[in-house]
Amino acid sequence: MKLTDLFTTQLGREADRCRKALMNVPEGSNDWKPHEKSMQLGYLATLVATMPSWVAMAITQDELDLDPPGGSGYKPLEWSTRDELIAALDDAVAKAREALAGTTDEHLQTNWRLLVAGQVVLEDPRTMVIAEAFTHLAHHRGQLTVYLRLNDLPVPAIYGPSADEKSF
């Protein structure tokens, strides 16, 4: 199996899981957080919705600087409706699919770099960067399901049944 096929299949599965979680995110609670050290619900939901685009970034860019000298850093999507979150997810997945369709397994073996203020903090083959993006996405989606539970909202079945969704 080609790596591009493997990642495209994984992307589809992760997109479906993200959609299920994002469909339960409450509107009007973007500032809510379970603890003062926790990230806000709106920011967390934005991460889950937009992280599939990291696949495209790892393919189409050679590096990302999180704090570019003289530049501006990441500006998260501002949303107010669940439909906007789902649209952001659909856009991120479409970008990732397009990038995967337009690349080769050979390109995926080349290195990609993450920088902070011009300093390299990570350099790995794109295959590893994409695999880690999926892991990172699963981590934040898991956080999001905890936020749902703490807000007395249904937690969807993700990798198996949940207390709220018994069928899988």
Q: In the predicted model, is pLDDT for residue 71 greater than 90?
A: no
Instruction: Using the CB atoms, write b or e for 50-82: b if 16+ within 10 Å.
Output: bbbbbbbbbbeeeebbeeeeeeeeeeebebeee
Q: What's residue 75's pLDDT? A: 78
Residue with tokens 């599939």: 52
- CATH value at residue 20: 1.20.120.450
Long-range Cβ contact pairs of 14-18 (< 8 A, separation 24 or more): 14/52, 14/134, 14/137, 14/138, 15/52, 15/89, 15/93, 17/141, 17/158, 17/159, 18/48, 18/49, 18/52, 18/89, 18/137, 18/141
* Three-class secondary structure of residue 23 per DSSP: coil
Task: Report yes or no on 155 lying in a domain.
Answer: no
**Better-predicted residue by pLDDT, 18 or 168:** 18
Task: Report yes or no on 119 lying in a domain.
Answer: no
Task: Report yes or no on 56 lying in a domain.
Answer: yes
Expressed as residue numbers, the domain containing 46 is 3-61+78-103+126-150
The pLDDT tens digits of the residues spanning 8-61 come to 999 999 999 999 999 999 999 999 999 999 999 999 999 999 999 999 999 999
Task: Report yes or no on 98 lying in a domain.
Answer: yes
The pLDDT tens digits of the residues spanning 142-166 come to 999 999 999 999 999 999 999 999 8
Task: Report yes or no on 112 lying in a domain.
Answer: no
If one counts the domains in the chain, the total is 1
What's the number of CA atoms in the CB half-sphere (13 Å) around residue 71?
12
Task: Report yes or no on 141 lying in a domain.
Answer: yes
